C-alpha cells in the first residue's frame, strides 16, 4: 500500500443475511473508530436501505453486489445502479466470479454495468480472477489482464474505480495464493491500468479477495500492490471482519 491509496476493506455478504443481522452490522460500525482503512459492507439488496440508514454518520459504507446496466425498465428481478444509490449504497461489486458463472456474465456486460455505476455516482469494484486450470497453466496474469482490458471502460480514474483480484479457486476454499503470486498478479493489473489510464493507475486501489481471514490478512495486506481486501465468509462475523480491518498496517 502507498500513501496515495487509502486501504479499503470490503465485506461481501453474498446471499446471506436477514434483518436480524443488523446487530452484527452495528458491532462492526461501533468497532471502526480510529482505523485507517475505509470499510464497507455489501449486503443483499433486501438489506441495503435499512443498513444504510443504520450506519449513517459512521465510518462504515454500504455497497451493492450487482446492478443492471439500464436505469429502469422491463427487467424483472433486476436492480439498477440508481436504485442502489437511492437506497443508500455508495459502491457496487461488479463482475464477481459467482455472477460470471451463475448468470453467464462476460466482460462486455460487466463493462456496461461499470458505466451504469458511474452514471449513478457509485464506485464500482470490478472483480477479476483466474480458474485453477488457468492458474496451473501459468495463465493467471494474462487472464486478469484480459479481463481488466475488457471489463473496464475508458475513463477510469483513481476516484472512480476499484479492482478486486479474486482467484476463483481461492474463494470459500481456505486456500490462498502465495504472497509472491498475489504480488505478481496485482503488478500485472497495475501494469494494464497504467497502459490504459497513465498516472491515474497509481491511485487506483487493487483489492485481494479469496479466503481472507484474520490469521492471513496481515501478510496479504502487506503485499506489494495490495490496497485492501474483498472479504466473503469472514465478513459475516463482526469480530473477524474487524480483525481483518485492524490488520491494515
Ligand X SMILES: O=C[C@H](O)COP(=O)(O)O
Active site residues: 96, 166
Interface with ligand X includes 211 (CB under 6 A)? Answer: yes
What is the x/- site pattern for ligand X, positions 12-41, by CB under 6 A? x-----------------------------
Residue 199 CA: distances (Å) to CA of 2, 28, 96, 98: 14, 35, 26, 31
Angstrom distance (rounded) from CA 214 to CA 117: 31
Residues 161-180 that bind ligand X (CB under 6 A): 166, 171-172
Query: Which is nearest to 238 in space by CA: 39, 47, 19?
Result: 39
CB nearer ligand X, residue 68 or residue 96? 96
CB nearer ligand X, residue 82 or residue 212? 212
Interface with ligand X includes 210 (CB under 6 A)? Answer: yes
One residue of 83, 188, 230, 244 binding ligand X per CB under 6 A: 230
Interface with ligand X includes 9 (CB under 6 A)? Answer: no
Interface with ligand X includes 55 (CB under 6 A)? Answer: no
Shortest separation between residue 3's beta carbon and ligand X, angstroms: 26
For residue 76, what is its C-alpha cell? 424483472
Q: Which residue is nearest to ligand X (CB)?
A: 232
Judge contact between 148 and 189, C-beta under 8 A: yes
Interface with ligand X includes 126 (CB under 6 A)? Answer: no
Angstrom distance (rounded) from CA 189 to CA 180: 14
Interface with ligand X includes 209 (CB under 6 A)? Answer: yes
First to last CA, the chain: 9
Angstrom distance (rounded) from CA 209 to CA 206: 10
Judge contact between 179 and 142, C-beta under 8 A: no
Shortest separation between residue 164's beta carbon and ligand X, angstroms: 7
CB nearer ligand X, residue 32 or residue 234? 234
Amino acid at each position: 500500500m502507498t500513501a496515495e491509496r487509502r486501504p479499503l476493506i470490503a465485506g461481501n455478504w453474498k446471499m446471506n443475511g436477514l434483518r436480524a443481522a443488523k446487530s452484527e452490522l452495528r458491532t462492526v460500525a461501533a468497532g471502526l473508530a480510529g482505523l485507517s482503512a475505509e470499510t464497507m459492507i455489501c449486503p443483499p439488496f433486501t438489506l441495503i436501505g435499512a443498513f444504510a440508514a443504520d450506519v449513517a454518520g459512521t465510518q462504515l459504507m454500504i455497497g451493492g453486489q450487482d446492478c443492471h446496466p439500464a436505469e429502469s425498465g422491463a427487467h424483472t428481478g433486476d436492480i439498477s445502479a440508481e436504485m442502489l444509490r437511492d437506497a443508500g449504497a455508495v459502491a457496487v461489486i461488479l463482475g464477481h466470479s459467482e455472477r460470471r458463472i451463475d448468470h453467464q456474465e462476460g466482460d462486455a456486460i460487466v463493462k456496461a454495468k461499470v458505466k451504469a455505476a458511474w452514471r449513478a455516482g457509485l464506485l464500482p469494484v470490478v472483480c477479476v480472477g483466474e480458474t485453477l486450470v488457468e492458474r496451473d497453466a501459468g495463465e493467471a496474469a494474462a487472464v486478469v489482464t484480459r479481463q481488466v482490458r475488457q471489463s473496464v471502460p475508458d475513463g477510469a480514474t483513481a476516484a472512480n474505480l476499484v479492482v478486486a483480484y479474486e482467484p476463483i479457486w481461492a474463494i470459500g476454499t481456505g486456500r490462498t495464493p502465495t504472497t509472491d503470486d498475489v504480488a505478481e498478479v496485482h503488478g500485472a493489473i497495475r501494469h494494464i491500468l497504467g497502459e490504459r489510464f497513465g498516472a491515474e493507475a497509481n491511485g487506483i486501489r487493487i483489492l485481494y479477495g479469496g479466503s481472507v481471514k484474520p490469521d492471513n490478512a496481515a501478510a496479504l495486506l502487506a503485499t506489494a500492490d495490495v490496497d485492501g481486501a474483498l472479504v466473503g465468509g469472514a465478513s459475516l462475523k463482526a469480530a473477524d471482519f474487524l480483525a481483518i480491518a485492524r490488520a491494515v498496517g
